[in-house]
């Protein structure tokens, strides 16, 4: 499998500015890249709470060893549940919080997870078993519901055409695999759309992943709860990968500033530098927004 490369790592560390003895939260542990970089700055008197909804990420994370590493508490949970986790673990508000809303290379490349049309596997896309799968949505939603979903969460130009084709195909056989869905999408869009830089199934798969995991709702929930999680003076950085979640973060930060709870650390989001996008093409769509909590 491709090694997961943490996105905007240099920028995130500069924004969050972890210091010796502080307490930080990584709400999206993933491959652990951001966690390990922050841990290096905290020292043995520091502490971290690391959360990930994907149990595989939690099980495969290896805590750093040595005398100068912080205490790291790892929990298999959704970042929306951070306020409750702080209470359960008797932890104070944090000095900093980071969220990386992208999915990892391990998730993309594991066919059994069903996140990618590049590998044939079950049409799943769930980070956990809490919600219905992508197959449930594709097989159960009405045509107009699928069209709305593909357009709203994927910006899919041919949403109506794809939704109609899906409903026709599933009359004969329910969708079970990623390749079955990819094949229908590929052959129903115009020939010109197949020759573009973006694969015809990309936007539909994005829309399904967002819907399956209630991604936008969960981001909105944690944004409202940030003052419960981060102390005054604490820094927050959130990395997004598409315009929908970036808009939610932008508006959430705007509300916190308007209500006197935070101030912007940067007026505009920060994008990766050219050297990073060369090494890690996935980072091209990433950007990080940041605030400092003031009350």
Q: Each residue of 265-275: pLDDT tens digit?
A: 999 999 999 99
**119 or 207, which is more confident:** 207
* Alpha-carbon span 200 to 203, nearest angstrom: 7
Mean pLDDT, the chain, whole residue set: 95
Helices 159-169/178-188 angle, 10° precision: 130
Helix (H, G, I), strand (E, B) or coil at 231: strand
Q: Is the pLDDT of residue 79 over 80?
A: yes
Selection from 198, 188, 194 nearest residue 158 by Cα: 188
How much is the pLDDT for 104?
A: 66
Q: Which two tokens stand for residue 11?
A: 């920028």
Q: Each residue of 191-204: pLDDT tens digit?
A: 988 988 899 999 99
- Domains annotated for the chain, with CATH where assigned, are 9-106+215-293 (3.40.50.150), 132-212 (1.10.150.170)
Q: Is this model's pTM higher than 0.85 or not?
A: yes
Q: Which residues on neighbouring strands pair with residue 230, listed in sequence order?
A: 94
The CA–CA distances, whole Å, from 42 to 23, 39, 51 equal: 8, 5, 18
Q: Is the pLDDT of residue 1 over 70?
A: no
- Say how many CA atoms lie within 13 Å of 121 toward its Cβ: 18
């Amino acid at each position: 499998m491709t090694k997961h490369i943490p996105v905007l790592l240099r920028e995130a560390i500069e924004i969050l500015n972890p210091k010796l003895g502080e307490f930080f939260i990584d709400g999206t542990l993933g491959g652990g890249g951001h966690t390990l970089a922050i841990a290096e700055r905290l020292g043995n008197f520091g502490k971290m709470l690391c959360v990930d909804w994907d149990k595989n990420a939690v099980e495969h994370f290896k805590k750093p060893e040595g005398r100068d590493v912080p205490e790291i508490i790892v929990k298999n949970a959704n970042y929306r549940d951070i306020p409750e986790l702080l209470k359960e673990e008797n932890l104070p508000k944090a000095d900093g919080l980071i969220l990386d809303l992208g999915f990892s290379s391990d998730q993309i490349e594991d066919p059994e997870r069903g996140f990618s049309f590049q590998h044939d596997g079950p049409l799943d896309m769930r980070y956990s078993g809490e919600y219905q799968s992508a197959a449930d949505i594709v097989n159960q939603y009405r045509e107009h519901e699928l069209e709305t979903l593909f357009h709203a969460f994927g910006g899919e130009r041919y949403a109506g055409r794809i939704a109609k084709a899906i409903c026709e195909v599933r009359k004969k056989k329910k969708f079970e695999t990623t390749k079955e869905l990819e094949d229908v999408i590929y052959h129903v869009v115009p020939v010109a759309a197949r020759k573009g830089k973006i694969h015809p199934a990309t936007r539909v798969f994005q829309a399904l992943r967002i819907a399956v995991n209630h991604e936008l709702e969960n981001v909105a929930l944690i944004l409202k709860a940030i003052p419960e999680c981060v102390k005054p003076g604490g820094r927050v950085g959130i990395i997004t990968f598409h315009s929908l979640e970036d808009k939610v973060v932008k508006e959430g930060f705007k509300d916190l500033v308007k209500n006197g709870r935070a101030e912007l650390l940067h007026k505009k989001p920060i994008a990766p530098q050219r050297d990073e996008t060369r090494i890690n093409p996935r980072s091209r769509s990433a950007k990080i927004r940041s605030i400092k909590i003031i009350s």
